[in-house]
Homo-oligomer: A and B are copies of this chain.
């Protein structure tokens, strides 16, 4: 990640501003406020604003349940209770705003989470930066043969080099032709004073999907956790997981009690179906149950065994 002088100056300015406030404040998060945390080769994650902390969740819950919450004596106990029983609205009382730089094909995945506010850099109005994502060699994975949406082993030797070469050349050539069509270089200089440039809203269609874009992305804590639960999961595409992991770390700084409950109940937890419950009950009683008796498909059976790390029960 390389920031322009202009960006570095902006970050410096923002970090040097200091005001007094009566609002709840989170010193741990303030430490990284505005900082550009690097992601992939040219991307970043910046926390640019936030509202509320762990106590805001507790406060809202106590307004809802009134004296009914007094029996849960600690903030941590209450937050764990809310998380366990899917009480969602108190978590909506905290809000965070990120500034993210990311490749377009990842932005397309990301935007499917609809319950957030977004302002994206517009290529109708302005020229996109000359930056595109190129995977590192260890992330250049082959298509999985067992899983239609997943990655298998890493590509090796010559083929890996070739793929990188193709990605690099195509991104550079299409960007360079983008400039020619615009009749304008990425730095704003005109190419041929005799010519007009193609409309930006059209020229952008020539760019490849690994070109970087950026946006402000604001959401509440509940929806952020929904996002992170899916995108920090090992089934998620590596490139979005990189962002989710960085954001997970900012959540830890921001609302540490909620973070712990989230890791325990959502990220580290598992769901067991009615049929799955019967199997587990048999296991606990030391009784046998076959795949056929379980009513599960082989795939589903194995997912259950993996969730409880019962490797010897896996069926090939």
Binding site for B on A (CB under 8 A): 14-15, 17-25, 27, 30, 33-34, 49-52, 56, 59-61, 63-69, 71, 77, 80, 84, 86, 89-90, 92-93, 95, 97, 99, 103-105, 107-108, 111-112, 114-115, 117-122, 124-127, 133, 135, 139-144, 148-153, 155, 159, 163, 166-167, 170-171, 173-174, 177, 180-182, 188, 195-202, 204-210, 214-216, 218, 220, 230, 237, 263-265, 267-277, 280-281, 283-284, 286, 297, 300, 303, 307-310
Contact = CB atoms under 8 A, between A and B. Distances in A.
A214 B68 CA distance: 16
Contact of A151 (B20, B121, B171, B201): B201
Nearest to A197: B143
Given A51-B95, A104-B108, A281-B308, 6 more contacts: A21-B25, A65-B148, A68-B125, A95-B218, A141-B199, A152-B196
Contact of A196 (B15, B142, B300, B303): B142
Nearest to A171: B206
A122 B159 contact: no
A60 B95 contact: no
Contacts of A195: 159
A270 B271 CA distance: 6
A207 B205 contact: no
Contacts of A177: 166, 170
B199 A65 contact: no
A142 B93 CA distance: 33
A278 to B, nearest CB: 10
B284 A280 contact: yes
Contacts of A220: 117, 218
Contacts of A125: 64-69, 148-149
Contact of A23 (B21, B210, B280): B21
